[in-house]
Structures are given as structure tokens and as C-alpha cells.
Chains A and B, each alone.
Chain A
Amino acid sequence: MVNPLPEPRRILVLNVNRMGDQLQALPFYWALKKRYPEAWLEVFVDRVGEKDQVARWLTPPVDEFIPLDLGRLRPVEGRNPPILEGSRYFRDLAAEIRGRGADLMINLSHGKFSALLMHFLRSPHTRVVGHVMAGGRHRMFRGDWFTYLFTMVAARRLNRFHIVDLYVRGCGLRAPDPLPPLPLAAADREWAEAFLTARGVGLGESIVAIQPGASEYRKRWEADAFARTLRLLHERHGVRGLVLGSPGERDLWDRMAGLLPPGTLDGVGTTLDQAKALLARAKLLITNDTGPMHVAAGVGTPFLAISLGSVYFPETFGYGVGHGILQSDLPCSPCTENLQCNDTVCHGLVQPEHAAEAAAHLLGLGPAPCQTDGAFYLRTARDRDGFLTARPVVPVRPSAEGCVALALREMWKVAFDFKEVEAAWADLKDEILLWYGSEALTDLSLQPALDGLHDLATLCQSALECARRLEVAVFQGERGRSEADMEAERLIEMDQTLLNRGYRTPSLQPLLRQYRFERERLAGGTPLDWAQLSQIHVGSLERRGQILADMLSRLETKLRLPARSIPRVSREGDVEDTVACARV
């Protein structure tokens, strides 16, 4: 168990992001509210214009949204930031926020600006969780799971956690299951019924909505692919299509017009409330990773997320179980942050045929699709520890990287949540079988990862011995001065060697990034602090490496079993029988 937080009376969450990110964080807000029902929960909302909309949807659990009016500071290319206006604005903001006296502040945002803002706005008695610039100068992450949230960015292919779970666990909480649905106003519900009736949609008729828009081109599946998917669903199963989008996305409808099946409903340009009501009425949403996906999850409508470009399947899907994901898979998936990709090959790997089959499976109208070389189909579920996950319905081709990722997932649970190692091994074994089946593992070698871990263990041993010698030398005072200097120098060198190992062995990256961020807390300490805290951090690194190595070597030896049936996973996480494949 994680140390529980002291009972706060006022909690301030900094989530300086788009509306979709606020919606995504809703389970976290619920978790906070459930755990601290008496506390006043306030959340920053970046765009002033979005405040009312967000407040209408997310209250409760949030008690108050505080607008961050950063737009008024008008940063303009080629000009200086407005010093006087900025000074006035931030001073007023500080006076207000400090006056409110939040005793817990949580930063969910990644950027340095948010970390600086956390430091700036906190009062001396405020406890801070998440990303903060300590003293305005040194980046720090408070909380193991929050540290992990920021380290995983460097090795996203090895991450198998949903970021909302990281928020939740970072605060020592559990997400409520089931989640209360997003509120739906009667007027909006009536409007949706009237909209559908006016267009000849009968009561109970199946509607499949699509959301072809997305804020960023890398994660935007082509509009014609969405249209072709709808057409296939219409031709095979007679479902009615509904196209959703903001008023600014009207051109998408125009581009799809000739490809859409007859009778497709035009829901482009509806308000967010109306779109929510339409989504509540739909049987399924096929969507890019964007705000409406979270709305669908919020109103309990299953979605099929097309996961491309910068999006990676475990991280940001709408929080809930039973949803579908089609993940395109290339060695470069997901895109590095800020990368400008001129060759979005990954978009072509998800085919409308594949998406239509997956959608039919989610609608209960057909079997699960086979996995293809470039894309695999997953369904979201909750594991035995309460973490959300996405698993393939039909086993995928195994990879050493995938095995390491699943082993890392269990290892982090052991490290941060004190899960028993044996229970972790049992869960890992089941997960591996669910992902890959047993037969294909026989050709797989985890030896390179094990070699890297062996090397890491040796280095950790040397670093630990060095830190111990440094500690002894420091205790000897002046007598041990020269030895202490020598050992300190050696420890610095070993530390660098350790960190560099991550570049040589990619599977070590997550362990070493975590170690790096944890040991940043050492900055500015005395040699004694350094010697003692190094032992703690290197000790943690060594232990994590050992757990991982143990699991991987067990996989190497014990999972090479005779062929057997391929299991599947139900929503509850139980292992079930083989699932038939839609295509061969």
C-alpha cells in the first residue's frame, strides 16, 4: 500500500490542458472526491471560454473550476512577454490562490510552466504532488507513480499503464468502479431524439457514430477511411452512420460526402452538449484519440479508438472497460514528442476492413478480427490489481519487447504498490498467455534483456560498495577526507556509467530514467546525504532490476510449454476459452 495522504480540506489540481484532457482526468477527480468527500476540490482550467462547459459536465465531482486566463498575456512571436501585465496577473492570481489556502496541490501537467506555477502558487503549508520546480530552479517529481509518469515518456513502447491510473495511484487512491456517468440534461436528450426522429431514425435503430476530426494531424486517421468503415458496416449489418465534428470540421464532412453510405446523419457542428446526447444514443463510436472518445466513455457508449502516430494504446484511451482499440504498429510507434512526421505510414496500416470487423465485434455482430502485421485489435479491461489495461482479443505475434513491457508492468506494481512478487509472476504468466498464446514463445529469446540486467546488477553492486565506503570515509572526518574525495569521484563516475547503460540496452531505459529522476532529489546534499541516499536509490534500482530479471528468466524457462489452447480475457480479467478468428 502507498502511504495515504493526510486528510486535506482544500485540493487544487493543475491540469493546464485542453478540454479533452479535463474529461480524461474525470475518473481521477472522482477518485479524489470519493476518498476526500469533505474536501473542496478545485481545478484550474486553461481556457477561460471553456470554464462554463467544463463546469457543467464535471461538477460534481469538481466543486469549482478556476480559469487560468493565460490568453490575456498574449505571447506573440517577435515580441517580448508583457512584463507589467504579467506581473499584475500573476500577483493577483497568487494572492487569490494562496488566500484560498489549498493544503494539497496536484500537478497533472507535463510542462515546465505548470511546474513553476505550482511552486509559485503554493503556500508554505501546502503539500505538493506531481511535477514541481523546487525553489523555482530544480525539477522534481513528488510521488513514485508521478515520477514514473514523467519517465515513461522516454520509453513509451515499454509502458503498459493508463495515465489516469498513474494520477490515481500517484495520490495513493483507487479509481471508483463503476464510474458515475457524465450528466445528461433532459433537454439535450430530447433534442437528440428529435434530431434522430426528424431524420427517420427509428427507436432502437443502431447508430454508429464516427469522429473523424482530431487536433493533431499525426493522430488523425484519414476521413475517407472513416467513411469506408461506415459504408462496410452499413452494407454488412445495416447500421446507420452518424458523423460528429465541431463547426470547424465541416470540411471533413464535405470530403467524405461521396463515400458515406446512404442515410448517414450529419452531426457536424452540433454543440458539445448535443454531441454528448447523440453519443449516449449511439451503439458505438469509431474515433481518433480525442475529446468525444472520453465523452463516449463518460456516457457509457463503447468506442473503437484508432490509435495512430503520437498515440499509444495503453496510455490515453477513454477510461473504462469493454472498449476497442486498433493500434497501428511500427518500430517508430508512438511518434516522439514534437516530431514532425512527413511520412505517416502508420495511418495506412489500419484498414477500413479491419476497423469494420472490429466495430462489428464490439457491436456483437461478428467475431473478433484477426491481427494483421501492421495493426492489432485490443479490448480494454481491468486487471486483478484494479489497473486498466488493453489486451488483444486474438493473440498477437510475440516480441521480446512486449514481454519486457508486461514484466515491467508487474515489476512497477511490486516496487511502488508492494505487490507480492509471486502474485506478480502469476499475473505476468497469465498476461503473456493472453497476449501471445504459448506456442509462439518457443522461438523467442529474452537473453539480451537478461544480459543487460545482469550487467546492471554488477554495476549496482559496485556503486553500492562505493557509496558504503564513502559513508565510512565521511564518518572518519578529516582522517578520511582524501578517501572520501576519491570515493565521491568514483561514485559520480559509476553513476554516469549506470545512466549510460540505458542507451546501450533499451529495456533498461525505464529503470534508469526512474533512477535518474529519483536521484535528482539528491541535488545540493552533503557528501553524507549523498552516500546514504545513493545507497537507497541504487538499492531500489538493483532490487527492481532483480525482480525484472527474475520474471524474465522464469519466462525464458517455464513458458516453453507444449501447445495448448489460446485463452481470452473477459471484462473481469478472467482467463477464458479460445476465441474464433474472423479471418484466416
Chain B
Amino acid sequence: MISNTPLFEVKDARTGIPTVSVGGAHLHSAYDPVREAADAARRFDPKPGRPVIVLGFGLGYHVEALLSLLSERGDPHPEVLVYEWNPEMLRMAREVRGADGLISRVRLREVTSPEDLDGDTALVNAFDRRAEVFALPGLAKARPETHHRLWERLNRVRLRRRLARVRFRILVVSPIYGGSLSTSRYVAEAFRSLGHVVEFMDFSPYQHALSQADDVTSDPGYRNHLQNSLCRHLSELCVARCSDWKPDLVFALAQAPLSPEAFRAMREMKIPTAFWFVEDFRLFPYWKTVAPACDYFFTIQKGAFFDELRTVTSNRFEYLPQACAPRVHRPLDLSPEERQRYASDVSFVGAGYHNRQKFLLGLMHHGLKVWGTGWDLSSVLSRHLQEGGRWIETEEVVKIYNGSKINLNLHSSTYHEGVNPNGDFVNPRTFEIAAIGAFQLVDRRTLLGEAFEEDREVITFSDLRDVEAKVGHFLAHDEDRGAVAQAARRRALRDHTFERRLETALDWILEWDYPRFAARLEAQTPVEKLLEGAAGDAELTALLRKYEERGEVGFQDIVRDIRDKSGALDDTEMIFLLLDQLWQERVAPRSGPA
């Protein structure tokens, strides 16, 4: 016996070199650890040029054997990541085998538990380059539970990385009208720019049909009945589309006309559903029906809302604040005419909620311009209301933000006199003005600090006296205004775009439910394997080479790309369409509602 600790026992193997055991089970061979390691490395059959992830350092025999084999195969400096979770084991390897030299040839990652693997970017990068995993030979036998947990975590990371490269088919469902309508359009665009295949169920054309109920009857019972009928129909449309298109995910926005029955039908079709509730839960209680019906529920509030959500559903929910769309929310050079029309010292764009009507009265002397609908035309404030209080289109809103020295951003309230002291969520306007690089003064919100650093990226106010002082200061100090606005813009473009937001949403969904989405990977084939099989078929090889960077590709991904393409089809593309059609006609017969 050379050395031991309360956990490990190190003794000489039959060949006279040290070996180690745990609770009587050997991590390396008790007879010939070197030969065992060499055999294991050969069986593992590492590919030169690819990273290797090694689970457990032990006394390092297997790592040595691996490096030596890779060197023989023409890869003298391979990328090898070794995960070890017990500092005592490393100390022992250094002590009994003088392993410092060996350790210096690999990237040793000391972790405290298998769960640490999740956040390790080195591991993620290695998987991105198609790393393979090699385990300490006796690990499974000596420490079965650790071995299992490590593999489970590794597989999780690997699957999530693979899933991150998959082009999902996402059906984005819009509301019929309202503020979340534009959000739904931004969501669809963002999913597209993330590389997913998106179909946008735009229900805005039904706005007229919905309001027609008001024109034909004054009976609220009938009106409700008519409007509910329309919503049921739209809900069914969505289900029918799901049945036909079979998306990987349905992503619906607040007010989307999806009934619990529709969510149930989609669940029966095994189509996951997400709902982004970009509303104040205190004002719109319909979340009580939606949250339990859909699979993943995203909110712009947390705290008290999460407590309430826990009482109605055990489904997954998470905080996902609003965001900006830099393609729309961008700095603009206004023409002289536009400056004349839209520019001002202080402006406010939005609907005339009760608190705004009261609050803005105190700011009229700052050359205030008010834009938007729902303002009291009998109030003195109406003198500041622009263009008769008409509806302002998004493109004009962007011009107003661009043209205002100070954009006031007062979150709505139906009963406060000014700032809602308990206001929590951050409205879209905050992110939009920031992305434009315009300056804003925003009322204090409990969740604002998570999005922007106060005083550096955003200036807040808590009451009229506060805002009065800050308006005065920032009107007088152009450079202060510019610094804050530019800092806010940098932050918005970095952290608060819809792309970033939806990446986060997908990360959550995959974290919660990755086995469900892993099924999608079954349809993925390594491009390398396909290319091997296609040797000698120049056209197919050329087509497959386009997917080489992705590592894997699904048959349907290729078919979709061919269908999206315009112009004449070559033989290879036709073959994909033929195979797809054959599959559709002989394997996947359609079925309507029962």
C-alpha cells in the first residue's frame, strides 16, 4: 500500500505500478492498469481532430493512453477536457504518479458536482465541435451513481446543443387586435431571424368581423355570442393548421383566440404550446384559464403573479420581459418637415389612461406634445394633443421618439393619480425608446432595474416633483441626455431584442422539456454520415455540403429549403420531393376532427 485516504485506497497493481480503488471496487485495473487503459482507448477509437471529454481523472492511465493513441493517429495536440470532481483524487495522482506533466497536456475541469457541467462553456464548445466522451474505465462499477449522473448531465448538455442547431417549425399565433398584435409580428420575425421556420397565424384581418358584432346588435348577450363564435372558429383554424403543418411548437401571444379545447387538441397531437402573457395579470384575469391549458407560460411579471400562478397550475412558467425590434426601433434622421411635425422638447405617446391625464397636466409648460387615442378632449391637456388624438402608426411613433428630446414613459394605471408606486412590469415602450437611442424618463418600476442600470442607462422618476426636476436638468444638458440614451441603446441591442428574448424562451423550454424535443433529433442525421453514403453522387454531395456546417440535418429541413427556393429544380431536389410525397401518400394519411 502506498497511500490512502478515507475515500480511496491506493495500492500496487500486479505489474507493480499504483492503482486505486473505492470501497473495494477498482477505478483502474488491479492487474495491469496501463494495458487496461490502452485497450479502453483503442475500443473508444478516438477521431483525430475532434475534442474528447474524459469523465474522471483517476490516476490518469486512461488519459495517457488516449493522448498516446491520438498522437499515433496524427493528432499530437488534441483538445482533451477532463472532468474531475474530487480534489483528493487529483492530489493523489500528483503524489503517487507525478501527474503534473500529464495534467498540463489536458484541460482539467474541476467541478464540485455533475450539475456544474450545465454551465460550462468549454463543454458546450467541445460539443459544438462534435466531441466524444471517454470515461475512466472503472468508474461505472466503482461509482455507479456518479457515473449515471455525469452521463445524464452530459447528454442533457449535448442534446441541448444539438437542439440549438435544429430549425424548429414554429407556429406563431397573433391576437385579433391590441398591443400584443405588434409584439406577435416581432416574435414571428425574431424566430425567423434565429433560423427557425415560422408560420404566422395573423388573425388581425378578423378585427372587422369581430367589431361587426357591435354594429349588428346592441344586445350584449348576442354580441358576446357572436364574438365567441368567431373566436372558437379562429381557434379551430389554428388546430386545423397544426394538424396539417405539424409544428414543433405553437407560440401564442396574449389575447390570441385559443380556447382550452384548442390547447387540449394540440396536446393530443403532441404539439407543445407556449403562451406569452404580455399583460398585467391584475387587469386581465384570463391567465387563470390559459396558464393551466398551455405547456409553457411566459409572463412580464413575477413575485405575486408567480404565487398566484402556483395556485392554478403546476405547468412551467417563467418571467420573460418585453423587448425591442431593432429593425423597427432604430435611430432616424428626420426631414425638416418631419421635425416640424414630430419633434418636441417633451412628448408622450400612448393612450389616455386616467393616471396620464392627471399627471401630464403638470408638465404642459415644457412644450409638451401628446400623441395617441383616448384623451379627454375637454381637458386643458387637449391643447397639447396632436392631430386630433388619432391612432399613431408604429413608423410614426418611431419618428416621434426620435424627434423628442425627452420621451416621457409613464406606465398606465386606471386609478392612480400619477405614478403607480407598486408598478412592477416594464412596458414595451421602455425597450423601444432605448433601442432607438432616444432619451426617456420612465416611472419607477420594481422590475426595471433588472433590464437597465438606473441613472446610467435609464433615468426614473417617482412623482411629479421628481420628473419636473429631471426634465429641467436633461433639457438643459444635451450631453447627459445623449450619454444615457446611448448606454440604453447599447444595453437594449445586447440584451433586450426579441431574438435574445426568444432564445431565452427556447432555452427555458428545452431546459424544462428537453426529452420531448429530443424526439425531433431522431429526425436529424449527421451530414458527415450522409456525405459518406453519397460518395460518387456529385449532385447529392453538393446539396448536402450546404448543411455541413450544421453538423446534422433532417430530411424535412432539406425538403422545406427546396420548396422555399424559386426557379427550376434539379434532379436531386426532385428526388427529395418525390421521397417526401411518397411518404405523405403512403405513410402519413390525414385525419380530420373526430
Q: Mark B520-538, 1 if CB is under 8 A from A, else 0.
A: 0011010000100110010
Is there an interface contact between A81 and B583, defined as CB atoms closer than 8 Å? yes
Chain A, range 67-122, C-beta contacts under 8 Å to B: 70, 73, 75-78, 80-84, 86-88, 90-91, 94, 111-113, 116-117, 119-120
Is there an interface contact between A116 and B577, defined as CB atoms closer than 8 Å? yes
* Of B359-367, B404-412, B476-484, B567-575, the one with at least 4 CB within 8 A of chain A: B567-575
Cβ-based interface call for B589 (8 A)? yes
Cβ-based interface call for A204 (8 A)? no
Cβ-based interface call for B555 (8 A)? yes
Is there an interface contact between B534 and A84, defined as CB atoms closer than 8 Å? yes
**From residue A310, how far is it (CB to closest CB) to chain B in Å?**
15
Alpha-carbon distance A76/B574, docked complex (angstroms): 21
Cβ-based interface call for A3 (8 A)? no
Alpha-carbon distance A36/B582, docked complex (angstroms): 32
Alpha-carbon distance A227/B576, docked complex (angstroms): 49
Is there an interface contact between A136 and B573, defined as CB atoms closer than 8 Å? yes
**Looking at the complex, which one of A75, A88, A135 makes contact with B568 (CB distance below 8 Å)?**
A135
Given contacts A80-B525, A91-B537, contact A75 B583 (CB under 8 A): yes
Query: B554, B568, B571 — which one has the most chain A CB atoms within 10 A of its CB?
Result: B571
Cβ-based interface call for B261 (8 A)? no
- Number of interface residues, chain B, beta carbon within 8 A: 35
| B216 / chain A contacts, CB cutoff of 8 Å | none
Alpha-carbon distance A340/B590, docked complex (angstroms): 11
- 16 sampled A-B residue pairs with Cβ under 8 A: A73-B579, A75-B583, A76-B587, A80-B523, A80-B525, A81-B555, A81-B583, A83-B525, A83-B555, A84-B533, A86-B575, A87-B572, A90-B571, A112-B584, A113-B578, A136-B568
| B537 to chain A: closest residue by CB | A87
Q: Mark A298-341, 1 if CB is under 8 A from B, else 0.
A: 00000000000000000000000000000000000000001010
Alpha-carbon distance A113/B590, docked complex (angstroms): 16
Chain B, range 433-481, C-beta contacts under 8 Å to A: none
Cβ-based interface call for B546 (8 A)? no
**From residue B502, how far is it (CB to closest CB) to chain A in Å?**
27
Interface of A is mostly: helix
**Looking at the complex, which one of B522, B558, B574 makes contact with A116 (CB distance below 8 Å)?**
B574
| A86 / chain B contacts, CB cutoff of 8 Å | 575, 578-579
**From residue B418, how far is it (CB to closest CB) to chain A in Å?**
51
Alpha-carbon distance A121/B580, docked complex (angstroms): 17
Cβ-based interface call for A583 (8 A)? no
Is there an interface contact between A90 and B575, defined as CB atoms closer than 8 Å? yes
Is there an interface contact between A88 and B577, defined as CB atoms closer than 8 Å? no
| B594 to chain A: closest residue by CB | A340
Is there an interface contact between A87 and B569, defined as CB atoms closer than 8 Å? no
Is there an interface contact between A81 and B569, defined as CB atoms closer than 8 Å? no
- Number of interface residues, chain A, beta carbon within 8 A: 29
**From residue A85, how far is it (CB to closest CB) to chain B in Å?**
9
Given contacts A80-B554, A84-B533, contact A136 B575 (CB under 8 A): no
Is there an interface contact between A136 and B574, defined as CB atoms closer than 8 Å? yes
| B565 to chain A: closest residue by CB | A137
| B584 / chain A contacts, CB cutoff of 8 Å | 112
**From residue A336, how far is it (CB to closest CB) to chain B in Å?**
10
Pairs A-B, 9 closest by C-beta atoms: A81-B579, A84-B533, A80-B555, A136-B569, A113-B581, A75-B587, A86-B579, A90-B575, A120-B574
| A87 / chain B contacts, CB cutoff of 8 Å | 534, 537, 540, 572, 575
Alpha-carbon distance A111/B568, docked complex (angstroms): 22
Is there an interface contact between A70 and B533, defined as CB atoms closer than 8 Å? no
**Looking at the complex, which one of B537, B571, B583, B588 makes contact with A88 (CB distance below 8 Å)?**
B537
Is there an interface contact between A77 and B573, defined as CB atoms closer than 8 Å? no
| B573 to chain A: closest residue by CB | A136
Cβ-based interface call for B585 (8 A)? yes
| A77 / chain B contacts, CB cutoff of 8 Å | 587-588
Cβ-based interface call for B586 (8 A)? yes
| B534 / chain A contacts, CB cutoff of 8 Å | 84, 87
**Looking at the complex, which one of B537, B576, B585, B591 makes contact with A112 (CB distance below 8 Å)?**
B585
Is there an interface contact between B581 and A116, defined as CB atoms closer than 8 Å? yes
**Looking at the complex, which one of B540, B554, B569 makes contact with A135 (CB distance below 8 Å)?**
B569
| B523 to chain A: closest residue by CB | A80
Alpha-carbon distance A84/B573, docked complex (angstroms): 13
Alpha-carbon distance A161/B554, docked complex (angstroms): 45
Query: B573, B575, B580 — which one has the most chain A CB atoms within 10 A of its CB?
Result: B575
Alpha-carbon distance A76/B584, docked complex (angstroms): 11
Is there an interface contact between A81 and B571, defined as CB atoms closer than 8 Å? no
Q: Mark A421-439, 1 if CB is under 8 A from B, else 0.
A: 0000000000000000000
B-side residues, CB < 8 A to A, are 522-523, 525, 530, 533-534, 537, 540, 554-556, 558, 568-569, 571-591
| B576 / chain A contacts, CB cutoff of 8 Å | 83
**From residue A215, how far is it (CB to closest CB) to chain B in Å?**
15
Is there an interface contact between B589 and A94, defined as CB atoms closer than 8 Å? no
Is there an interface contact between A81 and B580, defined as CB atoms closer than 8 Å? yes
Is there an interface contact between A113 and B582, defined as CB atoms closer than 8 Å? yes
| B568 to chain A: closest residue by CB | A135
| B580 / chain A contacts, CB cutoff of 8 Å | 81
Alpha-carbon distance A328/B95, docked complex (angstroms): 93
**Looking at the complex, which one of A116, A135, A338 makes contact with B590 (CB distance below 8 Å)?**
A338
| A90 / chain B contacts, CB cutoff of 8 Å | 571, 574-575, 578-579
| A90 to chain B: closest residue by CB | B575
**From residue A273, how far is it (CB to closest CB) to chain B in Å?**
29
| B536 to chain A: closest residue by CB | A88
Alpha-carbon distance A70/B585, docked complex (angstroms): 12
**Looking at the complex, which one of B571, B577, B581, B589 makes contact with A91 (CB distance below 8 Å)?**
B571
| A75 / chain B contacts, CB cutoff of 8 Å | 582-583, 586-587
| A76 / chain B contacts, CB cutoff of 8 Å | 587
**From residue B546, how far is it (CB to closest CB) to chain A in Å?**
14
**From residue A113, how far is it (CB to closest CB) to chain B in Å?**
4
| B581 / chain A contacts, CB cutoff of 8 Å | 111-113, 116
Is there an interface contact between B588 and A120, defined as CB atoms closer than 8 Å? no
| B583 / chain A contacts, CB cutoff of 8 Å | 75, 81
| A94 / chain B contacts, CB cutoff of 8 Å | 571
Alpha-carbon distance A111/B589, docked complex (angstroms): 13
| A112 / chain B contacts, CB cutoff of 8 Å | 581, 584-585
Alpha-carbon distance A84/B525, docked complex (angstroms): 12
| B544 to chain A: closest residue by CB | A83
Alpha-carbon distance A340/B592, docked complex (angstroms): 9
| A85 to chain B: closest residue by CB | B533
**From residue A464, how far is it (CB to closest CB) to chain B in Å?**
30
**From residue B512, how far is it (CB to closest CB) to chain A in Å?**
24
**Besides A111-B581, A113-B581, 19 new A-B residue pairs in contact (Cβ under 8 A), listed by A number:** A70-B582, A73-B579, A75-B582, A76-B587, A77-B588, A78-B522, A80-B556, A81-B555, A81-B579, A81-B582, A83-B540, A83-B579, A86-B575, A88-B537, A90-B574, A113-B582, A116-B578, A120-B575, A136-B573
| A80 to chain B: closest residue by CB | B555
Alpha-carbon distance A137/B565, docked complex (angstroms): 11
Alpha-carbon distance A70/B579, docked complex (angstroms): 10
Given contacts A84-B534, A87-B540, contact A136 B577 (CB under 8 A): yes
| B566 to chain A: closest residue by CB | A137
Is there an interface contact between A120 and B579, defined as CB atoms closer than 8 Å? no
**From residue A92, how far is it (CB to closest CB) to chain B in Å?**
11
| B554 to chain A: closest residue by CB | A80
Alpha-carbon distance A116/B586, docked complex (angstroms): 15
Is there an interface contact between A83 and B573, defined as CB atoms closer than 8 Å? no
**From residue A195, how far is it (CB to closest CB) to chain B in Å?**
37
Is there an interface contact between B554 and A120, defined as CB atoms closer than 8 Å? no
**Looking at the complex, which one of A73, A80, A136, A340 makes contact with B582 (CB distance below 8 Å)?**
A73
**Looking at the complex, which one of A82, A113, A137 makes contact with B569 (CB distance below 8 Å)?**
A137
Alpha-carbon distance A78/B556, docked complex (angstroms): 12
| B591 to chain A: closest residue by CB | A340
**From residue B269, how far is it (CB to closest CB) to chain A in Å?**
15
Query: B533, B583, B588 — which one has the most chain A CB atoms within 10 A of its CB?
Result: B583
Alpha-carbon distance A75/B579, docked complex (angstroms): 9
Alpha-carbon distance A135/B565, docked complex (angstroms): 12
**From residue A89, how far is it (CB to closest CB) to chain B in Å?**
9
Is there an interface contact between A111 and B585, defined as CB atoms closer than 8 Å? yes
